[in-house]
Amino acid sequence: MAKARIAQGGARPPRPALSGAGSGGPGRGGLVGYLRGVWEELKKVVWPARDELARMTGIVIATVVIFAALVGGADYLLSLGVKQAVTQQVNSTTPAPVATTAPVTTAAPAATPTVSP
């Protein structure tokens, strides 16, 4: 079990206050303040160059295709196994069908008998 380390030398320095935290701050309240904060954070982002973006996109697409093929192949093989198991189980428990009607003949119908008085 890991033990927590206690910093040597006394108390910690105070944390800097977040601007606009809690009370909303001047001009930072509501939806407009949120969108301004999002815009300021997006300006700090270092966006990749076009060639790096194309390379990363190719890697993602190739990875998705490979995993789709693996999952699809596993699904296909497992479905074959399940079909085989179900077919064997049905064949072993179901008796052979029994004919319940008389067989149909294709012979010509007999002539109607005549009754004499």
Domain boundaries in the chain? 48-92
State the pLDDT at residue 117. Answer: 63
What gap in Å lies between CA 73 and CA 67, rounded to an integer? 10
pLDDT at 108 over 90: no
Interacting residues of 28 by C-beta distance below 8 A, sequence separation 6+: 19, 20, 36, 37
What pLDDT score does 26 carry? 53
Quick check: 36 and 28 in contact, CB under 8 A? yes
What pLDDT digit, counting tens, does each position of 22-66 carry? 544 555 579 999 999 999 999 999 989 999 999 999 999 999 999
The pLDDT assigned to 14 comes to: 77
Quick check: 93 pLDDT over 90?
A: no
pLDDT surpassing 50 at residue 83:
yes
Spell 81-100 as b/e; 16+ CB within 10 A means b. Answer: eeeeeeeeeeeeeeeeeeee
pLDDT-above-90 percentage for the chain:
45
